[in-house]
Structures are given as structure tokens and as C-alpha cells.
């Protein structure tokens, strides 16, 4: 059906289309290029017309991470708009994260006026000369699925629909649209467009039946099959399918470097977070949505082990190098492919075999959990506080309505995630600064859930905290932030230790470029935006401090931050 909407400009028509296509939020960090957009928002607001809700986000790192966080929870792409090349420059790290996480984002930037005079929107600020670039998308083209510059009003519907469908086509990811000010400012009276859209992302895909049968046969024939998974839980529907497959095989599931909740941690076949010790015993390995199932330089499977990779893009085709041995690659929607494999495996694996294997792994599962619990008990009274204890205390707060965003330092062995869509960890690309914004975006997408954001003190600083706390207050997004404060970049220290275990840095104890001392009073940064902020140094008082903070988040709907002073590495 065609719809006709009254508009005043291209910018106005653009907002009309975004709203019609279901984009709910417009995360914006504005500049002079936004003038026609802001004018259009004002008109549409005054006249009661639908728009994506505009949110001022005073740093691009936060804006992109919010769109990332929203989409990873809701599954729906949102719009981000930043200021020409300089705003895009600040956003690049976040776009790299979204790309490597396969999260759809409609990333947009104003395009500096091209004309020096003569058009509505021509240059009228001194920056308009220096902010033009030869190829605005160049700085980010490698990490978006598509980029385009809006060239005329006539193509607006096609461009918006193409951007949104490409972002949502598997493997999903960000797209980049630049919006020249003259085009946005052009006067128009109406736009006619198809409503609903005549554009669609490809439907979910199942690998060919004979490939499923071959993979099922390969796994069923194994004596000791194992499953390694990282990001299948990006689609919460993949979790029950993975459970069905693991049960059909009686095979353990290792969440290796996991970025999502993929498999219930309390399931007897959940075998923890490190498959390395079992690689040599495995004669068949199913690698599910995992770019890095092991480190070949440290430990690899036996050469004769048969290996199946299953993912939307099992070759990880945007990675320059990735050479994990592969006997069979299944490309398709993990939810469908895993269920098909489960059905095919059930028919091939004798029930008694699955039960016997499961019994063995169940014992392993129980031993593991006891060891993890013992670790928390052993350090619970340690001062300065051990991160394992912080993790256990945070883990104890997790219920069926909790979402945890983890950008460093929550040790998943000390928590128990059992609900799909309840746990999100740093993107595979590891661009720091993601956590705070992702938590705010998650809260926006799931306002009834409790959102807890775990960050290292380093990650906290990268997350543009003043902007994040501003957004929390300004847009009513109460989140509990827990800063695991070890006053260092321990990840960098660990890299030095493993690079040169007997080297100068280890022997002398001198590790320049890794210290975050003196540590700021991070709790005050949250308080500066009306939040609750508390510093915690006594391990015994941590549980009550967490509960107090959580009550403030839930009852008073105010953000809270605990600055937990942890042992310095």
C-alpha cells in the first residue's frame, strides 16, 4: 500500500521513513550538519507526527555502544547520527565492535555542505571547508556491510530500506549512510512510500539436508564429541536448540571466550569455559559461532579429530586470516541448523550412549562447580577484595530478570546464567569503551529488566563515563555499574607476563604503561549525575552494598555505581 505523508524537507521525510520502518531510537551527537534534522524534529514534534525518539548522547563512544546494546537485546537496528568526519572518527571503535559482533546498526553522519554558496544548506561556518573529506566512508568502510551517500530525495525510500535490510541480513552488522546537508535541507511537500516496506532481509536459512546428515553422522560416529560455542546465543532461540543437540549426543558444551549466554550454566552438560584440557581427547568437535575455538599456538585438537564449523558465516569471511581445520562447514541460521542437527543426531546416537556420556560429564560438571565455589569461599575475606569474590557477589544477585553486561572482570564461573539473553560480554574485537553504553542501550530495550554493568576501572574510563552517567539520568535509564577497580590494566600486564615469563618486567616488577594509580573516586562521577555512588573496600560489606545499590536502581529508578577496590595485580 502506498502512503502519502506531508513533509517540509528531505530530513523530515527521512524521519518519517525511519519511524515507518520501526526504528525506535535516534542516538545523536549533533553538530552544524544536524540543522535540517533538528528543524524537522521540531516540526514533527509540534504537529504530533511519529519519529524515532531522539536521544542526546554527548559522546560518540556511548552513542554507538547504546545502539549496539539495544540491538543485541531487541534484535532491531537503531539509528545513530554523528557529526561529519570528526564524529565518525570518534565512533569508529564502536563500529568495529558492532561489525565483529554481527550486531545491526544504522550508523549515519552528516556530510559537510558540498557547495560554497547557492543552495539551501550551503556552507556558512568556517569548519565547513576543513570538515570535508575526499571519501568520508573510507575511514570505516572495512567494517560496515554497505556505505552510501544520500544523493537525492527521489532515492530516499530505496536508500533507507536498503540500509536497514542489509544491516539485518545475516551475518548482521552496521551500515553507514552519509547525509549531505544540502540534500537534507531541500524543500519538499510530501513523500509517497510503500507501507509496509517492499524490502525484506533474507529469511533464516538451513544448510542443505545432506550436509546436516553428514555432520550428524560425523558427530554420532565419534566416541568423544565435544561442542565449543562462543556467540550462538546472539539469537536466544539458538539456546534450546543447542541444548537439544548436546543432549542428543551426550556431548559437553564449552562456552569458550563466550560473548553471549549460549547454554544454561546449570545444565549437566555445561562443561565450563575452557575446552583446552579436553581438546586432545576429542575425536569430533562441533564449533558453533566461534571465531577462535582454541589457540593453535598453545593447544590444538589431535590431527585426526573431525571438525565441523557451524555459523551464519563459518569462514568468518571478513577476517583476513583464520585457519582452524575444518572438515565440514555449515552456513545457516544457528537456531535452525542446530535443531536440524539435534533431530538427525537423535536418530543416529543410541540413547544409552548419550546417557552414559552425559553421566560422565555430569560428574565433571559437579567437580568443576565445587572447585569454583571453593575458590570464592577461599578468598571471600581477603582484603583488598579479590575479583573472584566480587564476581560471586554479583553472580548471587542474578535472577531471571537480570541482564549482565561484562566488559572485563566478571568471572563467569562465579555466576550462573541460565536464561537466554541474560549475559553479554565484550565484542570479539575488544574495543574498550563498549560496556557503559551497551548497558544503557540494553536497559532501553528491556526497561523491565535489571541491568548490571561490570567494568574494569580501565574499561570504565574508556566508556566516556561522564557521557554515560549523563544519559542514564537524562533519559531515565537506571543501571547498576560495578567497577572492578584494580588500579591497573591487568590485561596488559598479563600479556607481558605471558610474552616474557622470565623477562625483565617480571623479574624487576617494573611494568610501565600499565598503571592506573592514583585512582579517581569513580563513585563521585556517578554522583555528579544524580546517581548513588559508593566505594567498597571491606569484602564482608560488599553483598550489602550491592543490595543497597540495587534497591536504589530498582525502587528509586536511579543509577548507582560501586567502586570496588580490588587487589592490585
Ligand X SMILES: Cc1ncc(C[n+]2csc(CCOP(=O)(O)OP(=O)(O)O)c2C)c(N)n1
Binding residues for ligand X (CB under 6 A)? 93, 408-409, 430-433, 456-459, 462, 486, 488-492
Q: Would you say 169 or 492 has its CB closer to ligand X?
A: 492
- Output the smallest distance, CB 432 to ligand X, in A: 4
- Output the smallest distance, CB 490 to ligand X, in A: 3
- Output the smallest distance, CB 493 to ligand X, in A: 7
Q: Would you say 325 or 430 has its CB closer to ligand X?
A: 430
Q: Would you say 144 or 488 has its CB closer to ligand X?
A: 488
Q: For residue 222, what are the contacts with CB-CB under 8 A and spacing of at least 6?
A: 282, 283, 284, 306
Q: Would you say 77 or 433 has its CB closer to ligand X?
A: 433
d(CA 418, CA 243): 12
d(CA 422, CA 485): 24
Residue 469 and residue 525 in contact, taking contact as beta carbons nearer than 8 Å: yes
Sheet of strand 225-229: strand arrangement: 253-255, 225-229, 284-288, 306-311, 328-331
d(CA 242, CA 335): 8
- Output the smallest distance, CB 86 to ligand X, in A: 18
Q: Would you say 341 or 488 has its CB closer to ligand X?
A: 488
d(CA 69, CA 402): 15
Q: For residue 405, what are the contacts with CB-CB under 8 A and spacing of at least 6?
A: 69, 424, 425, 435, 438, 439, 442, 451, 452, 453, 454
Q: Would you say 19 or 436 has its CB closer to ligand X?
A: 436
- Output the smallest distance, CB 491 to ligand X, in A: 3
d(CA 562, CA 569): 20
Q: Would you say 110 or 428 has its CB closer to ligand X?
A: 428
- Output the smallest distance, CB 334 to ligand X, in A: 27
Q: What phi-psi label fits residue 192: left (phi over 0), alpha (psi between -120 and 50 degrees) or beta? A: beta
- Output the smallest distance, CB 503 to ligand X, in A: 19
- Output the smallest distance, CB 328 to ligand X, in A: 33
d(CA 200, CA 202): 6
- Output the smallest distance, CB 407 to ligand X, in A: 7
d(CA 161, CA 157): 6
d(CA 99, CA 269): 31
Centre a 10 Å sphere on the Cβ of residue 152 and count the other Cβ atoms it contains: 10
Residue whose C-alpha is closest to residue 233's, from 412, 372, 365, 78? 412
Q: For residue 135, what are the contacts with CB-CB under 8 A and spacing of at least 6?
A: none
One DSSP character per residue, 373-384 reads: HHHHHHHTT-SS
Q: Would you say 419 or 492 has its CB closer to ligand X?
A: 492
Residue 36 and residue 11 in contact, taking contact as beta carbons nearer than 8 Å: yes
Q: Would you say 237 or 384 has its CB closer to ligand X?
A: 384
- Output the smallest distance, CB 408 to ligand X, in A: 4
Q: Would you say 87 or 431 has its CB closer to ligand X?
A: 431
- Output the smallest distance, CB 29 to ligand X, in A: 18
- Output the smallest distance, CB 161 to ligand X, in A: 33
Residue nearest to ligand X (CB): 456
Q: Would you say 56 or 466 has its CB closer to ligand X?
A: 466
Q: How far apart, in Å, are the Cα atoms of 376 and each of 371, 382, 418, 549?
A: 9, 10, 20, 22
Q: Outline where 120-208 has alpha helix (H).
A: 127-130, 156-168, 181-185
Q: Would you say 86 or 461 has its CB closer to ligand X?
A: 461
One DSSP character per residue, 290-314 reads: -S-SS-TTT----TT-EEEEEESST
- Output the smallest distance, CB 273 to ligand X, in A: 16
d(CA 198, CA 97): 30
One DSSP character per residue, 52-107 reads: PEEEE-SSHHHHHHHHHHHHHHH----EEEE-HHHHHHHHHHHHHHHHHHT--EEE
Q: Would you say 174 or 180 has its CB closer to ligand X?
A: 174
Amino acid at each position: 500500500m502506498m502512503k502519502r505523508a506531508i513533509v517540509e524537507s528531505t530530513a523530515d521525510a527521512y524521519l518519517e521513513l525511519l519511524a515507518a520502518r520501526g526504528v525506535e531510537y535516534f542516538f545523536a551527537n549533533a553538530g552544524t550538519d544536524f540543522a535540517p534534522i533538528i528543524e524537522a524534529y521540531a516540526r514533527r514534534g509540534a504537529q504530533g507526527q511519529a519519529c524515532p525518539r531522539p536521544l542526546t548522547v554527548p559522546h560518540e563512544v556511548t552513542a554507538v555502544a547504546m545502539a549496539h546494546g539495544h540491538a543485541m537485546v531487541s534484535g532491531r537496528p537503531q539509528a545513530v547520527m554523528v557529526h561529519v568526519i570528526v564524529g565518525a572518527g570518534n565512533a569508529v571503535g564502536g563500529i568495529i565492535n558492532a561489525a565483529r559482533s554481527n550486531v545491526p546498526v544504522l550508523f549515519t553522519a552528516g556530510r559537510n555542505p558540498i557547495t560554497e554558496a547557492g543552495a539551501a544548506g550551503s556552507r556558512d561556518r568556517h569548519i565547513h571547508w576543513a570538515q570535508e573529506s575526499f571519501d568520508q566512508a573510507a575511514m570505516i568502510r572495512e567494517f560496515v556491510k554497505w556505505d552510501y551517500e544520500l544523493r537525492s530525495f527521489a532515492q530516499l525510500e530505496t536508500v533507507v530500506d536498503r540500509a536497514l535490510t542489509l544491516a539485518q541480513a545475516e551475518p548482521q552488522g552496521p551500515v553507514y549512510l552519509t547525509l549531505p546537508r544540502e540534500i537534507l535541507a531541500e524543500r519538499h511537500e510530501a513523500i509517497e512510500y510503500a507501507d509496509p516496506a517492499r524490502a525484506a532481509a533474507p529469511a533464516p536459512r538451513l544448510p542443505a539436508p545432506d550436509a546436516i546428515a553428514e555432520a550428524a553422522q560425523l558427530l554420532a560416529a565419534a566416541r568423544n564429541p565435544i561442542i565449543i560455542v562462543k556467540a550462538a546465543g546472539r539469537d536466544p532461540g539458538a539456546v534450546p536448540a543447542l541444548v537439544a543437540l548436546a543432549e542428543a549426543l551426550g556431548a559437553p558444551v564449552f562456552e569458550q571466550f563466550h560473548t553471549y549466554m549460549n547454554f544454561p550454566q546449570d545444565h549437566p552438560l555445561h562443561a565450563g569455559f575452557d575446552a583446552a584440557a579436553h581438546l586432545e581427547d576429542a575425536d569430533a568437535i562441533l564449533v558453533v559461532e566461534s571465531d577462535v575455538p582454541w589457540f593453535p599456538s598453545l593447544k590444538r585438537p589431535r590431527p585426526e579429530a573431525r571438525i565441523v564449523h557451524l555459523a551464519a558465516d563459518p569462514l568468518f569471511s571478513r577476517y583476513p586470516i583464520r585457519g582452524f581445520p575444518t572438515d565440514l562447514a555449515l552456513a545457516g541460521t544457528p537456531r535452525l541448523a542446530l535443531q536440524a542437527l539435534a533431530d538427525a543426531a537423535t536418530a543416529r546416537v543410541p540413547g544409552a550412549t548419550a546417557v552414559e556420556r552425559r553421566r560422565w560429564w555430569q560428574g565433571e560438571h559437579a567437580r568443576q562447580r565445587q572447585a569454583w565455589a571453593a575458590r570464592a569461599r577461599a578468598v571471600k575475606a581477603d582484603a583488598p577484595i579479590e575479583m573472584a569474590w566480587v564476581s560471586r557477589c554479583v553472580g548471587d544477585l542474578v535472577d531471571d530478570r537480570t541482564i549482565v553486561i561484562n566488559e572485563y572482570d566478571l568471572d563467569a564461573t562465579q555466576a550462573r546464567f541460565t536464561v537466554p539473553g541474560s549475559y553479554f560480554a565484550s565484542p570479539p574485537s575488544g574495543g574498550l569503551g563498549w560496556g557503559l553504553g551497551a548497558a544503557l542501550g540494553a536497559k532501553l530495550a528491556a526497561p523491565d529488566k535489571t541491568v548490571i554493568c561490570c567494568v574494569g576501572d580501565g574499561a570504565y574510563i574508556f566508556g566516556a563515563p561522564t557521557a554515560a552517567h549523563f544519559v542514564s539520568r537524562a533519559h531515565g535509564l537506571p543501571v547498576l555499574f560495578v567497577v572492578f577497580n584494580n588500579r591497573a590494566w591487568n590485561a596488559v600486564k598479563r600479556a607481558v607476563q605471558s610474552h616474557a615469563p622470565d623477562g625483565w618486567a617480571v623479574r624487576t616488577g617494573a611494568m610501565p604503561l600499565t598503571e592506573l594509580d592514583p585512582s579517581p573516586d569513580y563513585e563521585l562521577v556517578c554522583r555528579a549525575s544524580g546517581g548513588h555512588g559508593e566505594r567498597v573496600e571491606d569484602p564482608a560489606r560488599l553483598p550489602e552494598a550491592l543490595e543497597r545499590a540495587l534497591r536504589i536502581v530498582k525502587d528509586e529508578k536511579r543509577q548507582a555505581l560501586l567502586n570496588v577496590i580490588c587487589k592490585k595485580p
